[in-house]
Structure 1
Amino acid sequence: MLTGKHILLIISGGIAAYKSLDLIRRLRERGATVTPVLTTAAEQFVTPLAVSALAGQKCYRDLFDLTDEAEMGHIQLSRVADLIVVAPATANLMAQMVQGLAGDLAGTLLLATDTPVMIAPAMNVRMWEHPATQRNLEQLRADGVSVVGPASGDMACGEYGPGRMSEPLEIVAAIEAALSGGPLSGRHILVTSGPTHEPIDPVRYIANRSSGAQGSAIARALISLGAQVTFVTGPADAPRPPGAHVLEVQTAQEMHDAVISALPADAAIFAAAVADWRMAEASTRKLKKSKDGLPVLAFAENPDILRHVSGLGDNRPGLVVGFAAETDDVIDNATAKRDRKGCDWILANDVSPGSGIMGGTENAVVLIDATGADTWPRMTKDDVAQRLARRIADALGAVQN
């Protein structure tokens, strides 16, 4: 799938550098040519010999190597690739990219190129969450740099949280999408998925039934057409889509905040089953049975994410798509929801008992827009996602034209 493509892979200094060895292998399996560049710090984690052996190419290390400059100057090296990938991208290298510093070979290559750049951040969770890193991330995105990950999990330092470099196959999927030249290439699309969990007490919560399967399928389909996808998901069972920038949340308020932080976007697809209500004040202790009767639960309304985004001014995505899970009068209720929310499209489905839609592998949707209702036949959720992605590509193409 990457035959004839040339990847310039910059490996910076972090424990995740060992994953880059597998990334090289995976890219070469798919036909790509990989030219590796090691920073000085990266050599503390992986050896030039191992990197060069796996890549089957010379490993570049020194900005002032006269032999390298004679064979291929660093300016030329930065421009012959189809894509520059930085994996892992440390907090230091991200800051260096933002400032445009060119004190070493990696910085010079990144500054002296007009080739698209993709980074796979990897660092300690505290470093990732630091305001300086988040500011740098925002600036890199604004500069057109695409970002893969990071994932959440156990850290080598013993901490847990976001900051783990994405797995090699996830990075490969993002590279394939970036180089596919698909109709959504260069487009940023936001997708929400899964349920939200609204705590009642430390052991109980309010939630909607959602596996996240349809949202994950939509994200994968969009990525396959070349889109850069930010995937905001509640605690869902479905696998996270490879190649997406994944934001994990629990509550509706957290999902709202993550969505706003991910804007601007060319389109926003709200497939999440967000709980309409939360506890006005969740208990900090487990509620106990009492002879005095049932506990009184006071509810508050959650933020309406779809309506909020639909009502944004200059920051509103060009296409806003909502979902409506209905048990009766599907088209009428969904049409009313579209009018009420102010979105462009609503995908409605019948989730009444016996439909097999909720938690199943198939879906039957009706797409409702300003012109009316388009009923789709029952199909797999992957097929629904592919059909929706192509329709989104057509719509965004029309907007662009």
Structure 2
Amino acid sequence: MKIVYFDCYAGISGDMTVGALLDLGVPLEYLKAELAKLALPSGSYTLSSQRTERRHVAALKFDVEVHDHHIHRHYSGIDTMIAESSLTDHAKETARRIFRRLAEAEALVHGVAVDQVHFHEVGAVDSIVDIVGTAICLDYLGVEAVHASPLPLGGGFVETAHGRLPVPAPATAELLRGLTVHTAFAEGERVTPTGAAIIAALVTVPGTRPAMTLTKVGCGAGSKDFSDCPNILRTFFGQSSGNGGDEVIVVESNIDDSTAEVLGHVMDLLQEEGALDVFFMPIQMKKNRPGVKLSFICRPESLNRLSRLLLTETSAIGLRHYPAGRMVLERQIEERATPFGMLRFKLIFDDGRLLRCTPEYEDCRRIAREQSIPLQEVMRVVSSFELEREHTA
């Protein structure tokens, strides 16, 4: 799995993010060609990038020169523009997710409906370019999971279209909820609304450093040059560590007042909705009550959706989750001829070498029911036939 880790020790903004991703190897001309697929006025902006440094650390500075400063848009218009573009589906989905997260924060701060959010700085051309550009770059690199370090709160004040506001600005503060932050640097706007929206929308488990085989490191420069640290965003790009491994999330909840029927129903729902595994464990809870620990394993992008399902479908009032590394052997399904007709087999490989070949349980169970043969007998005959065929091959 290809992953990227944003090292946001100095902060994050939209232009820093695009600069750092370009520094990983995304061609600027490719970015320009993809952004041209948006229905923005022709000639309304110019893109450029150049090598620079922040406190003697080299980085790439990405700039958007806006030629029309009178463009203001509502969230609904931006979302429609992205959805109707000819960008790749993955890039569109990523960009729309970031803007949706940003619109939700702005709506809460200003007390309006999400579709009525009127963007000023964020809705300007440069910020549309930053957010959609981030999505385009991640898609080009084939990134499947995004991780990020804790974010600095910053301090002081910032001038906005709404006047002078404290740092972090209200929308930024709302976006930081649930994320890991630190207070190492007191002054300056270290995280912009666009930067916060990127992290809030794309990072499932904030503040974690993934294990990876590192391939490239990119550095994006911010506009300001702070005195306390290099104002750069570093991106670490690579492959998740382990032979056939990836990162998953383990979710657990201790339950003592849901019936067995409800728990069985929830297990089916979680599996149908994409959980990689679901299992129960008997436990002894407070007041000496027997209970059940319901656990499931999922991919990071499914965490919120599946957790909500668990909380709404059971009597649980809370859960805990944590990232875990996973090693998996390569597997594939293949149909093969047997004395009972064509059945599916699961083939397991290790570094290209076949380890075992087993008949699919559901196919064997179907044969057992259709022909009134004990399941054990069906599996024995099929396995013996397959083993004999391999020896004579």
After TM superposition, the score normalised by the length of structure 1 is 0.29
Q: Larger strand proportion, structure 1 or 2?
A: 2
Which has the higher Rg, Structure 1 or Structure 2? 2
Q: TM-score, normalization: structure 2? A: 0.29
